[in-house]
């Protein structure tokens, strides 16, 4: 019997050295890849196939904004097309940050070629933006909220008001964005933890903040609502709002996509929490590339005590059962439980 599933799409920064070759190894839909390559070639950019099949991972090539976005979108769409329809009924889709564009592709709001063009355009437009972005945990080692760390983050936001903003609410992590001076000052003020944080996100501008206003204005002119289609699946956005299938206001969806979520904070945790509460999926399927979404998804579920989860240990124990609730297509051992035959 089919299981109902929520599909979750990853954001920027998920195609790294370990993911090189991910698309060519996993994409069963070669016609889809051909479409993506044609879009890229038409505007004089390296094709997805060319990027993915390089013999060596190059930070300057693969992490360049318009290349990373294309690889992540292509991998996500290919993974979505690979979900076995005999095993799963997808009931809704959401994503983190750039994953919102992949979600639009999964829900057929954007045809594959249009989706690839949009992510390329948005990557180029937002890469021109000023500022920087960094990440800092607001949880303890057991994935429970750390009130002190949360308060310290809020303190920095208040101290640098107008220059530093909450960019993404990402499970147990706060992603902050702002001017380079404000980001530098906040990172220096926050106490180091876990030998990694605060962590500057390389190649990232002040995404999901007012620093992106110029990019938003240009995108609105390039992408009228007429280029958007009615969702074929319910979508949950970065405010936790549900866009119903076949009944969405496309002008409003265009404005949200190119204005609101570009210039305002993206609350991935809320999107995930609303999705599980409203659609009660039997499984959560995380698209590739990479497998970094798992922690943020688990932390978001723990925050609302979903299915009795209250700690990291609870989640790990649940995932070690014969039927794990969260399935990541970026992990070969879990991909096999999701993907149909190639």
Do 177 and 231 reside in the same domain of the chain? no
State the total domains in the chain: 2
Do 221 and 191 reside in the same domain of the chain? no
DSSP 3-state assignment of 239?
Answer: coil
The rounded mean pLDDT for the chain is 96
Do 178 and 242 reside in the same domain of the chain? no
> Which DSSP state fits 216?
H
End residue of a domain, out of 170, 204, 238: 204
From residue 300, alpha-carbon distances to 87, 143, 156, 201, 205 in Å are 26, 9, 23, 21, 25
Residue-range definition of the domain harbouring residue 260: 3-128+212-335
Find where tokens 């790990």 sit.
Answer: 316
pLDDT in tens, 35-45: 999 999 999 99
DSSP 3-state assignment of 130?
Answer: coil
This prediction's pTM:
0.97
Q: How far apart are CA 130 and CA 133, in angstroms?
A: 10
Do 96 and 19 reside in the same domain of the chain? yes
List beta partners, residue 197: 193
Q: In which band, very low, low, confident or very high, does the pLDDT at 4 lie, cut at 50, 70 and 90?
A: very high
pLDDT in tens, 125-162: 998 778 999 999 999 999 999 999 999 999 999 999 99
Contact yes or no for 26/82 (Cβ under 8 A): yes
For residue 115, give both structure tokens.
Answer: 């989706």
pLDDT at residue 286 is higher than 70:
yes
Task: Give DSSP secondary structure letters for 75-111.
Answer: HHHHHHHHB-TTTEEEEEEEESTTHHHHHHHHTTSS-
């Amino acid at each position: 019997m089919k299981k109902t599933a929520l599909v979750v799409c990853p954001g920027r920064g998920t195609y790294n050295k370990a993911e090189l070759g991910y698309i060519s190894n996993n994409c069963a839909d070669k016609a889809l890849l051909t479409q993506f390559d044609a879009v890229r070639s038409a505007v004089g950019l390296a094709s997805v196939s060319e990027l993915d099949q390089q013999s060596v991972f190059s930070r300057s090539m693969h992490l360049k904004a318009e290349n990373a976005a294309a690889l992540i979108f292509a991998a996500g769409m290919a993974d979505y097309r690979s979900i076995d329809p005999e095993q799963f009924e997808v009931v809704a889709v959401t994503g983190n940050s750039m994953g919102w564009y992949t979600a639009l592709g999964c829900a057929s709001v954007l045809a594959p070629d249009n989706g690839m063009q949009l992510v390329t355009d948005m990557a180029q437009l937002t890469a021109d933006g000023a500022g920087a972005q960094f990440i800092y945990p607001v949880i303890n080692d057991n994935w429970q909220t750390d009130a002190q760390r949360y308060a310290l983050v809020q303190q920095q936001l208040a101290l640098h008001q107008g220059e530093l903003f909450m960019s993404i609410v990402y499970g147990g992590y706060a992603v902050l964005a702002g001017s380079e001076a404000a980001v530098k000052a906040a990172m220096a003020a926050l106490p180091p933890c876990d030998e990694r944080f605060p962590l500057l996100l390389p190649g990232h501008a002040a995404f999901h903040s007012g620093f992106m206003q110029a990019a938003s204005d240009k995108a609105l002119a390039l992408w009228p609502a007429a280029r958007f289609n009615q969702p074929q699946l319910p979508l949950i956005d970065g405010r936790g709002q549900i866009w119903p299938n076949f009944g969405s206001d496309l002008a409003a969806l265009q404005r949200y996509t190119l204005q609101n979520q570009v210039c305002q904070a993206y609350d991935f945790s809320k999107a995930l929490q609303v999705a599980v509460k409203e659609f009660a999926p039997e499984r959560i399927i995380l698209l590739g590339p990479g497998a970094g979404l798992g922690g943020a998804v688990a932390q978001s579920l723990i925050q609302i005590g979903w299915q009795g989860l209250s700690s990291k240990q609870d989640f790990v124990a649940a995932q070690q059962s014969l039927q794990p609730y969260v399935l990541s297509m970026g992990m070969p051992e879990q991909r096999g439980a999701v993907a149909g035959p190639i």
